[in-house]
Amino acid sequence: MKRLLFLSILLLQMTLLNAQSIECYANPDLRNGSFEEINNCGFNQGVIVNALALGCVPDWSAATGSPDVANATSGITAEDGANYMRMGAANNGQCRTEAAFIEVDMVPGKIYELSFYHRTTEFTNLNLSDLPLNLNVFATSGLINNNNGPVLDDCLDLSAESQELYTATSFFSEDWVKVTISNITVDAPQTQLLFFPGSNNSVASFWLLDDVKLVECACFDDCLPPTGLSCRLNQGSNNSLFWNPVPGAVGYIIKVVKKKLICGCTNNTNSTRLFYRTSASLVLPNNLTNGCFSWSVQTDCGEGVTSQYSESSCFGPEGECSSIGTLGFKATQPNDSATPNIYPNPTSKELNFSYQSEKDLSVNISIYALDGKLIKRFPEEKYPNGNLNKSWTITQDIPSGVYIVHFNTNHGNFQKKILINKDLKH
């Protein structure tokens, strides 16, 4: 019975995973993954010996031994940029392995993807196939001496909460090989990525590492309908309809229905029109720009998959959206108190945040560009009554574009894409 229950839960988890899409973007907490930043250290015949222990490589540290940084002058060209890291490994009855780690901030509840390039090379003039390496990559919360965590080749004791992300035995390659580990989750906060080579041979060989990337991923339900339906009255030109972009959408089907009593329309004709757009907006044609109608939007997710239609919104004869309550570009605030409301979206001058909880609330809000650059980080704030309402004025130095809001609370973590368009007029 227990086995049947376990299989049922596993099948349910697989079904939910298949019904979701994953979108990944740069993680600003990981820097210098290609070892291009060097602190006032010079290469000697293409190598900076003991570079990590000497503090030559920002954000990286030696866990054991003396990892080096090298460039093409040493005889091997980097996979990305000019530099790469090399770590020696041997097994002759004592710890001869070199290991390195980079500081990260991995938290439970988020999804990550790790990628890197690696290869091997002999330490002396020997056949490469005689020098395979055993490779390990861990997410760990510290290198500590205890009896609870993993012990690597009698060289390193890891924290009990450490998680093995990648392992390879008897690896050797004269070419750079890319490794990608997807759908990574952690059970406890992890603060380091540890790269550890090991050898079955008494003769040392090198493990080379380059282009290390850790990215955060967001998981979205499969093919959701758009939200945040809004409208804008343009002076001297046609009116426009807008909605929040859906991640992964191929396009959108917009349904316009004239003479809808729910919108208070008194049109003499009763008609339905469909429009298709690849962006999250529709400029109304002349025969609709001063009309009165209801409208809703369906997401096209590609390969014949479409969402349900969104909730309907009304467009009045003066350009007002009755479901929004005010003329302009403001999205409806949802009644669901379990998720934050971030509006208006798109926006040009100001972004509002609201959240309601029945318990005490602690909130961290950060805004990132799609390339991982931190745009704005608010200090942590506490709300004993559980209600948050705050605004952010968008400064002139922030360009138009798509950004990601990280909204982290003691009740859950959320991410949402926003569009800043400086050409919008409210």
pLDDT of residue 133: 77
Give the pLDDT band of residue 208 (cuts 50, 70, 90).
very high
pLDDT at 211: 93
Q: For residues 296 and 229, what is the distance between their CA atoms, to the nearest angstrom? A: 8
- CATH number, domain 333-426, options 2.60.40.1930, 2.60.120.10, 3.30.360.10, 3.40.50.300: 2.60.40.1930
Residue 19 has pLDDT above 50, yes or no: no
Retrieve residue 225's tokens: 């309908």
What gap in Å lies between CA 301 and CA 356, rounded to an integer? 32
pLDDT at position 375 is: 87
Report if pTM > 0.75.
no
User: Which range scores top for mean pLDDT: 134-143, 305-314, 390-399?
Assistant: 390-399
Q: Strands of 293-399 (E only): list them.
A: 293-302, 305-306, 313-315, 341-343, 350-356, 361-369, 374-377, 381-383, 387-393
pLDDT of residue 199: 62
Per-residue pLDDT reduced to its tens digit, 360-398: 888 888 887 765 678 888 888 888 888 888 899 998 888
* Residue 361: how many other CB atoms lie within 10 Å: 19
> What is the predicted pLDDT for the residue at 277?
92
Bond before 346 cis per omega within 30 degrees: yes
| pLDDT on residue 246 | 84
At the fourth CATH level, the homologous superfamily of domain 18-219 is Galactose-binding domain-like (2.60.120.260)
Provide the pLDDT confidence category of residue 209 given band limits of 50, 70 and 90.
very high
Name every residue whose Cβ is closer than 8 Å to that of residue 210 and which is 6 or more positions away in sequence.
34, 35, 78, 79, 80, 81, 83, 84, 85, 116, 117, 118, 176
Across 172-223, the runs of DSSP E, i.e. the strands, are 177-184, 190-199, 205-221
- pLDDT given for residue 123 in this prediction: 57
89-130, pLDDT tens digit by residue?
A: 765 555 667 889 998 888 887 788 899 999 988 655 444 444
For residues 33 and 211, is the Cβ–Cβ distance under 8 A?
A: yes
Domain 223-330 has CATH 3.40.30.10: no
Of how many residues is the chain composed?
Answer: 426
For the chain, domain boundaries: 18-219, 223-330, 333-426
Asked if domains 18-219 and 333-426 share a fold, the reply is no
Q: For residues 82 and 401, which has the higher predicted lDDT (pLDDT)?
A: 82
Q: Which of 49-58, 108-117, 270-279, 405-414 has the lowest mean pLDDT?
A: 405-414
Instruction: State residue 14's pLDDT score.
Output: 39
Least confident of 125-129, 174-178, 329-333: 329-333
